[in-house]
């Protein structure tokens, strides 16, 4: 992919925590209006990379480009109007309702000359509707299930009115039913609203099922990227995840399904 054609691009970025380099000289363009899933073993740099895309971590070298301009040079409010972010373990204030949480997604659109208005109320109502959280809108966030809570956080990101969403492991700590629920929501936001979505997942089979574009990372570098059927191969599973596996085709979705056998040295 020509990186100049994508709205969100990492251009030869190096990411580090102090002197420890986590990602080095990485270039990646996030395909517009597609679902991109980043996969890889623990501590390979997946979440660190997503944090850099979200401007939560400044690269030690290289640049993240948003609409052709360095994201670091854009005002924070402007970035928040374009890019929605759901971190790995978001924490809601105690006693806040789902509606109040979702309403916080409208903060980037507020200023001393533009206060809360009908457009904001409509955006919140639409976000609640799109994420299936209208019926729980008046309940406290700390009283709802984990799957409902993830939906509420995604609704907040949707209420921002952004075209780009970054989700860091949105299915963590959820049972399989709730994982499917959240990922079906992600697919709907992409399919019906045309949103570009990049997320980190650990489950390869769920990644294959929902991704248009998979990025496989190991040790801070990209090993392969492309369609699920191009990336999820026995050779890649051995190289990236140190596992021997059989790959079959899901008869419903046509996506590759990984059947692991054993780990390899």
Q: Residue 91's pLDDT is what? A: 85
Q: Is the pLDDT of residue 1 over 90?
A: no
Q: Is the pLDDT of residue 114 over 70?
A: no
β-strand pairing of 69-70 with 61-66: antiparallel
pTM of this prediction?
0.90
Q: For residue range 189-244, list pLDDT tens digits in order.
A: 999 989 999 999 999 999 999 999 999 999 999 999 999 999 999 999 999 999 99
Report the percent of the chain where pLDDT is more than 90: 70
Q: For residue range 148-173, list pLDDT tens digits in order.
A: 998 899 899 888 888 899 999 998 88
Q: For residue range 57-99, list pLDDT tens digits in order.
A: 999 999 999 999 999 999 988 898 899 998 887 888 889 999 9
β-strand pairing of 221-226 with 83-86: unpaired
Mean pLDDT across the chain: 92
Query: What is the rounded distance in angstroms from the CA atom of residue 95 to the CA atom of residue 131?
Result: 21
Ramachandran region, residue 101 (left: φ > 0; alpha: ψ -120 to 50; beta: rest): alpha
Q: Residue 4's pLDDT is what? A: 60
Q: Residue 112's pLDDT is what? A: 61
Q: How far is the CA of 251 from the CAs of 2, 63, 99, 208, in angstroms?
A: 33, 41, 40, 13
> How many degrees, rounded to 5, is the angle at CA 253 between CA 251 and CA 255?
90
CA-based end-to-end distance of the chain: 34
Number of Cβ atoms within 10 Å of the Cβ of 7: 18
Query: What is the rounded distance in angstroms from the CA atom of residue 153 to the CA atom of residue 102?
Result: 7
How large is the C-alpha radius of gyration of the chain? Answer: 19
Q: For residue range 12-57, list pLDDT tens digits in order.
A: 999 999 889 999 999 999 999 999 999 999 999 999 999 999 999 9
Q: For residue range 213-226, list pLDDT tens digits in order.
A: 999 999 999 999 99
- Provide the H-helix boundaries in the chain: 46-53, 76-82, 98-103, 118-130, 146-159, 176-193, 204-210, 228-231, 234-241
């Amino acid at each position: 992919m020509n990186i100049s054609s994508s709205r969100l691009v990492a251009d030869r970025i190096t990411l580090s925590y102090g002197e420890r380099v986590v990602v080095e000289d990485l270039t990646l363009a996030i395909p517009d209006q597609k679902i991109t899933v980043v996969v890889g073993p623990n501590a390979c740099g997946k979440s660190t990379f997503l944090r850099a895309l979200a401007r939560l971590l400044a690269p030690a070298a290289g640049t993240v480009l948003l609409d052709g301009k360095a994201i670091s040079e854009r005002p924070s409010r402007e970035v928040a109007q374009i890019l929605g972010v759901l971190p790995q373990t978001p924490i809601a204030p105690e006693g806040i309702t789902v509606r109040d949480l979702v309403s916080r997604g409208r903060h980037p659109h507020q200023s001393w000359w533009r206060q809360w208005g009908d457009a904001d109320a409509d955006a919140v109502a639409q976000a609640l509707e799109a994420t299936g959280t209208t019926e729980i809108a008046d309940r406290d966030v700390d009283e709802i299930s984990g799957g409902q809570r993830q939906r509420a956080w995604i609704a907040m990101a949707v209420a921002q009115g952004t075209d780009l969403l970054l989700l860091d492991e949105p299915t963590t700590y959820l049972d399989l039913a709730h994982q499917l629920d959240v990922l079906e929501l992600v697919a709907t936001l992409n399919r019906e609203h045309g949103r570009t979505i990049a997320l980190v997942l650990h489950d390869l089979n769920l990644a294959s099922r929902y991704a248009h574009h998979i990025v496989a990372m190991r040790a801070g570098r990209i090993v392969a990227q492309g369609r699920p059927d191009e990336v999820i191969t026995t050779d890649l599973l051995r190289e990236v995840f140190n596992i021997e596996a059989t790959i079959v085709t899901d008869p419903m979705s046509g996506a590759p399904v990984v059947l692991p056998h054993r780990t390899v040295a």
